Amino acid sequence: MKFSALDISIGDVFMGVLFKYGGLIRLQIDPEYANNPNRPLLSLSMLAENPEQNAALLLDPLAPIFNSPGENRLPPFFQNLLPEGVLRKHIAAERGCDEDDHFELLAACGADLPGNVFARPTANTRELARKLVTQNQDALEESVMADPLDDGISLSGIQPKLGLVAQGGRFVAGRRHGDSHIIGKLPTLQHDLLPEVEYLSLQLAKAAGVTVCEATLEPLSSIVSPHEYLLGKSDHFLAVKRFDRDRPGRLHAEDFAQVMSVDPDHKYTGGSYADIARIMLKVNGLGQAAVLELIRRITVSELIGNYDFHLKNIGVLHHPDGRIELSPAYDIVAYSVYIKGAGHALAFADAQPKRQILGPAAVRHFCNDAGISEVKVRSIVAGVCAKAVKKWPDMIAGSKLMPAQQERLHAFFHSRPLVQGLLRRQQKNQAAFE
């Protein structure tokens, strides 16, 4: 069996070695990192319940967070770094590996992963192999990982995407011209005007009080980067400014699948919104403010038909000084424009069904499970609805969506029980003054 290894670092701080030997895939933490009281944090999942036990946890080679769950999958944090969908197919083809060769895909993307984590080829010595796998007992066949691809960029999601750098009004390929600072989300054959729909969705969320990522619609003709994607009906792409790259140097980030150590295949079932809220309440820098922002985003998703608000679409930022904050909202899309449906990607609380709508019962179960005031949550929901009713109809009508798409979004929005209830109350109040 071959031994393969990647050096893992956070910025310029070496953390340990991720290695593969047969079915064994493990992150071996470096003792110097584990015993450094000022070490940068890779993931909230890698903290012990008692801070005094953090070093012991990091140095435990059998801890599940550092080991493959099987089937050649990476430990959950790293599995969640891999590209998905058509981008994975593209990188696998460029790499000359199978789409299920997760270790090889991570190596291919290791220089431009989300956040401030790097996975670089290790100088594979026999001594290192014996140390990590056999405790210096046996000889191993070695396999040195190749260098990362020039265009090896890992971006989550199934929509065709490019990692880009803005240069003088044009957008060129990342990696060849430095770290990608822009995610170029391209039009698809399956969904007409998807960049325009996502752009409008983000603007609607912002108008309702949500903190959203920076994004603009840009002409497709401004992209100077070769790709093999078949593009759909639109002359534009959505240029999303990467919040983990929008400053000098990189800013570390992770999503809640990583925070909760959940494999990306379980992003819909690995936790509830209340589970996320309970974690937020325990983390300095998140707390109640982050929970209420989560509620804003859930409410917006309810009103536009964003059925895909799962664990990977909620994230946190790790600042160099150790401060943690909720990342801006991203991947908010009004899927009601394309498909019929209702409800949410995650259950609101334990033992509650998926695809539940945001109503009094869901709010009550969420608040009871998360341990947060129901009055405050109801106030946030009502505030989002009031802003949406006031601002959204004109925004939708003035958007770049096709007339039929505007009609579907209008109809979905006005069919939501939250909106219907608010409109009835407004009508009653108006009648009382007449």
Residue 152 per-residue DSSP state: -
Which burial class, exposed, middle or buried, applies to 322 when counting CB atoms under 10 A from its CB (0-12, 13-18, 19+)? exposed
Spatial distance between the Cα atoms of 258 and 16, rounded to a whole number of angstroms = 18
Q: How many CB atoms lie within 10 A of CB 130?
A: 16
φ, ψ dihedrals at 329, nearest 5°: -70, 140
Strands 170-173 and 141-142 come out as unpaired
Residue 130 per-residue DSSP state: I
Strands 223-224 and 170-173 come out as parallel
Q: Which residues contact 301 (CB under 8 A, 6 or more apart)?
A: 307, 309, 332, 344
Type of residue found at 67: N
- Return the structure tokens found at 183: 């995610």
Spatial distance between the Cα atoms of 174 and 152, rounded to a whole number of angstroms = 9
Q: How remote is the C-alpha of 4 from its chain's centroid? A: 28
Q: How many CB atoms lie within 10 A of CB 156?
A: 23
Active site residues: 308
Alpha helices in 28-131, H assignment, sequence order? 31-34, 54-58, 76-79, 85-95, 102-109, 126-129
- Return the structure tokens found at 327: 């990342």
Q: How many CB atoms lie within 10 A of CB 57?
A: 17
Using alpha carbons, select from 81, 96, 105, 90 the residue that is nearest to residue 4: 105
First to last CA, the chain: 83
